Amino acid sequence: MAYVATRGGARAIEQSQRLFRAEMGTITPERVAEVRRALPYLVDRVMGEASLYDADLAALALAQTGGELHEAVLLLRAWRTTQPRLTVADPVLQQDLFTHRRISAAFKDIPGGQILGPTLDYSHRILMTEVLSGAAQTPDPVDAAAISAPAQHPSVAAWQAENGLLSAAEPDTRCGNDIPDITREPLLFPAQRAHRLQSLARADTGGVLALGYAAQRGYGQAHPTVNELRLAEAEVIVQHPRGTRFSAGRVKVSQAEVVAKTGSDLRLGFAATLGWNEVKVIAAATLDLNAKGAPKGSATEEEFFLYHTEGVEASGFCIHFKLPHYVTFQSSLDAMRDAKARDQAKNQARAAETAQATREAEPTP
Amino acid sequence: MTAAPLASEFDTRTNATYEALMWALSRPGLIRTLPLAGLAQIIDTLIDRECAVYCEDAALTAQAMQTGAVLAPPEQADHLFLTALEHADFLTRLPQGSDLHPEAGATLVCTARLGRGPRLRLTGPGCEGAVEVRIDGLPDGIWQTRAQVLRYPLGFELFLVDANRVLGLPRSTKVEVL
Amino acid sequence: MSLKSLTRDWQPMSFGFLDASAKREIRRTSLKAIAVPGCQIPYASREVPMARGWGTGGLQVSCTLITPRTRIKVIDQGADDSVNAASIRRFLARVSGAPTTMDTLEADLIQSRHRIPEEVLQDHQVLVLQVPNPEPLRPVEPNMSLARQMHADADYGRMWLQLYEQIVRSGRVMQGASYPSLVNGRYVMTPSPIPRWDVPKLHMARHLTLLSAGREKRLFAVPPFTRVEPLVFEDVPYRVEDHAGLSCARSGARGFFMNEIPQADGSSSYEISDSELGVKSIRQRDNETVTIGDTWYKNGEMAG
């Protein structure tokens, strides 16, 4: 039975996975803990794109995939699918965030003050090669400020709205179960604002950066000014079935407000995500800012950027081209060959006609 | 490889209920068997917090609420459960969806008597030629009203339940009273 | 009420992988898809443990339908043992304990990428087709919202124009697979990238076909006994691939859709694309007892 001999698919896929995993060796709880401790920004990025806040699981996903980011996010999203929804937390208000870093490019100083917080922005990007020669680098201790900054701050946009500079978005008062949820409902266009912001929060960092950057370079109508960039921790308040409200813990969040002048008003673009990821929220807020009135099919149109920054979908589709496509290819070949044959037949008929005409036109000797 | 997860009683029952509903709608007029009698299992099978439900019966209402669905008047409900359909006019109140979203049309599940009463001829997708059925226990003029209000591809779906038997009538089915 | 009443005992995985909510959504969506044949119904499309574009839409439908007794068959490009088919089959069995088969006649549920088996599907069978791009209008309108409006208006003028231009330019319709087809006289649908050979198998079929695009989050259906008509001009008939006269180099069978295998000498050899029919044909040739079901094509011609 000739066909049976070719049946190696199940075995082949098993062995190919072993080959991939062999390179990474044994995955231990210690390795996962080390990933979590050593790579907090990577863990944050993966948690944000997965829309699942659990640093241990994110570190496990990174360890399990050897740092293949799209695979790690997919693992977490697939795990998230299996989890029951117990409750919906209270809305997190900007002014309640426990703020670590808060800067504004729009004003020299802002109510509550600029708080530089943890950043590499002003570091010199010099590789610490001495570590490779055995000199461990231990960070210098932080000197605490004489007067600590307040933990909570109003948003800059709130001040602008108070001063009549900003037309703020209609507040969406829906709460609890009524909040639209992109993981349980299809994304339709024009997208509900909640769906747009949720999609951006889950978007691929690289994808959002590429399209946000395109908008910033001039493929968008509005040039952003960073009104406020904030890294913070948010208290997650949930209600116990008996009625008590309690904090289930804190999650790291990033948010960006960007503004642009439109006529006599400022227009606001906003984005937030789980984990600390500054580039993502600035780029995403730029896209949000530019979406209104963007031409159909442009990079700043909502449908365009939401579809194309969905990292799990984009990466999955991209790698699916590795799958066999020989049936579709065969189908196209068939149409192509037939068209070619027709073309040739037509050309031959034309050549014969011309030859005939030439013969007729020639004077007989 | 870990052992396959076991299907709970709930999994088994709701899967079987859905299979009956799916085939009932795929082959209009062919009666399918539900695992249990009554409408409650259909709520278990289809209804969730994303749904807007209309029920008249108190027990069904309580059950629908427990799924997290919101209760809505007929005009805004996507799923309606009636132990008795009293007036043909009720059909005029059902959402039929929109040109962009025909799927927003409602699903009405109601009790009826299958296999007796007026003879009907069904044609359309899912019908091998024409299918004849008898349906009783529905208000007079219901088929005329249905024909008048449906604007395919807009419309609503009907599931008629008689104890543990179900018959489906998608909007695509033409119903003639013989 | 207690926390316990809101949740269930912890299990590493739900039966059929998807949780009850996800299944309910797929059920509601499938019912509407059946009610409005060929109309693309949006759904949330949960993430499943496979990459998007690798059959996640089909997988969600299969996971919703599956029971421990559902006999499942999975094929890719017509083959049961293609690597991705093997992976999906293994996943479906793993999350449900369902038995698997390669025999089209034995299957209750067939999940397929790019082919419909050659043996005629029957009343109780469900065919789940994986769909990469659910929108037949995309070549003429890439924007989903605008395309949706065109479907709402049954505005298929640009689609027809595209076909017309191909005929003018090349003397024939150049569409290979995914041939756009009118369903129940109302919606133009892509039958998924099945070859033109397979499209007539959907027309007035006995089985139910569910088409699901996980990445694009659209589900549509062709119920049994529903008209599926490829878009053609009256004077330029629909043409399936020119495979009627080809014979399978392994089994000797003729008159089915073939895979072309390029040979070192510059020629081509062919083998049956429906791998299980290939196996059956070889067994039959070797005088084994084997049941080959009724086939849609007889001697390379679609039976009327």
The CATH number that applies at residue B109 is: 3.40.50.11310
Whether B29 contacts B131, CB under 8 Å: yes
d(CA A282, CA A290): 12
Q: Where are the alpha helices (DSSP H) in chain A?
A: 2-5, 9-24, 29-38, 40-50, 55-65, 69-81, 156-162, 193-202, 205-214, 278-291, 302-308, 311-320, 326-361
Q: How far is CA A324 from the centre of its chain?
A: 28
pLDDT in tens, chain A (365 residues): 344 434 567 788 889 999 999 999 999 999 999 999 999 999 999 999 999 999 999 999 999 999 999 999 999 999 998 887 788 899 999 999 999 999 999 999 888 889 999 999 999 999 999 999 999 999 999 999 898 888 999 889 988 988 889 877 777 888 887 889 999 889 999 999 999 999 999 999 999 999 999 999 989 888 899 999 999 999 999 998 788 999 999 999 999 999 998 888 899 999 999 999 999 999 999 999 999 999 988 999 999 999 999 999 999 999 999 999 999 999 999 999 998 998 899 889 989 988 888 888 776 65
Query: What phi, psi does A337 have (nearest 5°)?
Result: -60, -40
Residue C241 pLDDT grade (very low, low, confident, very high; cuts 50, 70, 90): very high
Whether A282 contacts A168, CB under 8 Å: no
Which residue among B15, B102, B107 places its CB closest to the CB of C31? B107
The per-residue pLDDT for range C71-114, each reduced to its tens digit, is 999 999 999 988 899 999 999 999 999 999 999 999 999 999 99
**Chain C residues lying within 8 Å of B152, measured CB to CB:** 186
Put simply, the answer to whether C44 touches A318 (Cβ < 8 Å) is no
Per-residue CA distances from B116 to B27, B135, C292, C302 (Å): 19, 6, 42, 41
Q: Which chain B residue is nearest to residue C148, measuring alpha carbons?
A: B100
Respond yes or no on whether ipTM tops 0.90.
Answer: yes
Write the CB contacts of A300 (distance below 8 Å, at least 6 apart in sequence). A211, A214, A215, A219, A220, A221, A287, A290, A291, A294
Put simply, the answer to whether A184 touches B68 (Cβ < 8 Å) is no
Whether A76 contacts A61, CB under 8 Å: yes
- Mean pLDDT of all residues in chain C? 94
DSSP codes joined into one string, A258-304: EEEEETTEEEEEEEEEES--HHHHHHHHHHHHHHTTPPTTSTTSHHH
The per-residue pLDDT for range C262-283, each reduced to its tens digit, is 999 999 999 999 999 999 999 9
Put simply, the answer to whether A331 touches C196 (Cβ < 8 Å) is yes
Which amino acid makes up residue C2? S
Judged by a CB distance cut-off of 8 A, whether residue A82 touches chain B is no
pTM for the predicted model, two decimal places:
0.90
Put simply, the answer to whether C144 touches A303 (Cβ < 8 Å) is yes
Put simply, the answer to whether B26 touches C41 (Cβ < 8 Å) is no
**Chain B residues lying within 8 Å of A185, measured CB to CB:** 50
> Which residues form the domain of B110?
9-177
Whether A324 contacts C114, CB under 8 Å: no
Residue C6 pLDDT grade (very low, low, confident, very high; cuts 50, 70, 90): low
The per-residue pLDDT for range C171-223, each reduced to its tens digit, is 899 999 999 999 999 999 999 999 999 999 999 999 999 999 999 999 999 99
Whether C111 contacts C86, CB under 8 Å: no
Asked if residue B108 belongs to a domain, the reply is: yes
pLDDT in tens, chain B (178 residues): 467 899 999 999 999 999 999 999 999 999 999 999 999 999 999 999 899 999 999 999 999 999 989 999 999 999 999 999 999 999 999 999 999 999 999 999 999 999 999 999 999 999 999 999 999 999 999 999 999 999 999 999 999 999 999 999 999 999 999 9
Judged by a CB distance cut-off of 8 A, whether residue A12 touches chain C is yes
pLDDT for res A145: 87
- Pairing state between β B107-111 and B79-82: parallel
Count how many Cα atoms sit within 13 Å of the Cα of residue A285 in the half-sphere of its side chain. 28
B residues 86-145 lying closer than 8 A (beta carbon) to C: 98-100, 102-103, 105, 107, 124-128
3-state secondary structure at position A362? coil
Q: Which domains does chain C have, with CATH numbers?
A: 20-230 (3.40.50.11310), 258-302 (no CATH)
DSSP codes joined into one string, C207-265: SEEEEEETTTTEEEEE-SS--EEE--BTTB-----S-TT-B-TTT--BSS-EEEEE-TT
Residue C13 pLDDT grade (very low, low, confident, very high; cuts 50, 70, 90): confident
pLDDT for res C4: 63
- Pairing state between β C181-183 and C126-130: unpaired
pLDDT for res C268: 94
pLDDT for res A79: 92
Domain chopping of chain A, boundaries? 18-81, 94-118+148-318
> Domain total for chain B?
1
pLDDT for res C200: 98
C residues 133-172 lying closer than 8 A (beta carbon) to A: 142-146, 170-172
Q: Which chain B residue is nearest to residue C92, measuring alpha carbons?
A: B4
Judged by a CB distance cut-off of 8 A, whether residue A185 touches chain B is yes
Q: Is the dihedral of CA A214, A220, A226, A229 positive or negative?
A: negative
d(CA A256, CA A272): 6
| Of A275, A299, A274, nearest in space to A287 by CA | A299
Judged by a CB distance cut-off of 8 A, whether residue B68 touches chain A is yes
**Chain A residues lying within 8 Å of C243, measured CB to CB:** 334
Length of chain A: 365
The per-residue pLDDT for range C149-172, each reduced to its tens digit, is 999 999 999 999 999 999 998 889
In the structure encoding, which two tokens stand for residue A167, read together? 């037309």
d(CA B128, CA C224): 8
